[in-house]
Amino acid sequence: MTATPPSPDEPTPAPDYRDQYETLTGVSLRACPACHDGQLRVIEAFASAPAPLDSS
């Protein structure tokens, strides 16, 4: 099984900001800052705060 190259009509997606940062600095934003061995993963996301009420 061979991978087919993307067709010229399809734009290639822009690299993720974490990939760009690693390319520029050599430091991975995905690596665990404590052990530098594992990868960080989202385990919980919080909903954004509601808009404040207008008191005027």
Q: Which residues does residue 31 pair with via DSSP β-bridges, in sequence order?
A: 39
Per-residue pLDDT of the chain (56 residues; tens, 9 = 90+): 566 666 667 777 778 888 999 999 998 888 887 887 888 777 888 877 777 777 76
Q: What is the pTM of this model?
A: 0.46
What DSSP string describes 14-47?
PPPHHHHHHHHHS--SSB-TTTSSSB------PP
Residues 6+ apart with CB under 8 A from 39: 30, 31, 32
